[in-house]
Structure 1
Amino acid sequence: MPTEHPTAPPARDPAGFAVFYEQQFDAVLGFVTRRVDSPHLAADLTADIFVTALENAHTYDARRGTPVAWLYGIARNVLSAHFRGSTRELRAVARITGRRLLDDEDVSAIESRIDAARATRHMAAAHAALSEPLRDVLDLVVLDGLTTREAARVLGISPASARVRMHRARKALRATGPTRTDRHDIVLEATR
Structure 2
Amino acid sequence: MAEAGQRPGASGLAAEFEQIYRAHVQEVTAYFARRTADPQTVADLTADTFVRAITSFPTFDPARGSPRGWLFGIARRVFAQHCERVSRGQDVTARLAGRRELGVDEAAELVVRIDAECRGRELLDGMAALAPADREAVELVDIAGLERTEAAAALGISSGALRIRLFRARAKLRKIVGEEHE
* AA of the residue aligned to 1:35: R
1:111-190 matches, within 5 Å, as: 111-122=111-122, 126-176=126-176, 177-180=178-181
Runs of at least 5 residues in structure 2 that lack an aligned partner in the other structure? 1-6
Aligned to 1:27: 27
**Residues 44 and 96, structure 1, Cα contact 8 Å, conserved in 2:** no
Aligned to 1:97: 99
Q: CA deviation at 1:10?
A: 7.0
Name the SS of the counterpart of 1:85 in structure 2. Answer: helix
Aligned to 1:6: none
Q: CA deviation at 1:179?
A: 2.5
| Worse-matched range after superposition: 121-130 or 102-111 | 121-130
* AA of the residue aligned to 1:71: L
Choose between structure 1 and 2 for higher RCO, CA contacts under 8 A separated by at least 6 residues. Answer: 2
Aligned to 2:71: 71
Following the alignment from structure 2 to structure 1, what is the Cα–Cα distance between the partners of residues 36 and 9? 29
Following the alignment from structure 2 to structure 1, what is the Cα–Cα distance between the partners of residues 152 and 82? 22
Runs of at least 5 residues in structure 1 that lack an aligned partner in the other structure? 1-8, 182-192
**Residues 34 and 120, structure 2, Cα contact 8 Å, conserved in 1:** no
1:58–1:119 distance in 2 versus 1, CA, 3 Å: same
Q: CA deviation at 1:141?
A: 0.1
**Residues 138 and 166, structure 1, Cα contact 8 Å, conserved in 2:** yes
1:102–1:11 distance in 2 versus 1, CA, 3 Å: farther
Q: CA deviation at 1:175?
A: 1.1
Following the alignment from structure 1 to structure 2, what is the Cα–Cα distance between the partners of residues 180 and 24? 36
Superposition TM-score, scaled by structure 2 size: 0.80
Over residues 26-84 of structure 1, what are the superposed CA-to-partner deviations in whole Å (9 max), with x where a residue is unaligned?
12111111112210011111111111001100221112221111110011111111111
User: Please, what is the CA RMSD of the aligned residues?
Assistant: 2.9
| Worse-matched range after superposition: 134-143 or 28-37 | 28-37
* AA of the residue aligned to 1:80: A
Following the alignment from structure 1 to structure 2, what is the Cα–Cα distance between the partners of residues 124 and 40? 20
Poorly superposed stretches of 4+, deviation over 4 Å? 89-96
Aligned to 2:10: 12
Q: CA deviation at 1:135?
A: 0.4
**Residues 141 and 148, structure 2, Cα contact 8 Å, conserved in 1:** yes
Following the alignment from structure 1 to structure 2, what is the Cα–Cα distance between the partners of residues 125 and 45? 20
1:28–1:11 distance in 2 versus 1, CA, 3 Å: farther
Superposition TM-score, scaled by structure 1 size: 0.76
1:95–1:72 distance in 2 versus 1, CA, 3 Å: farther
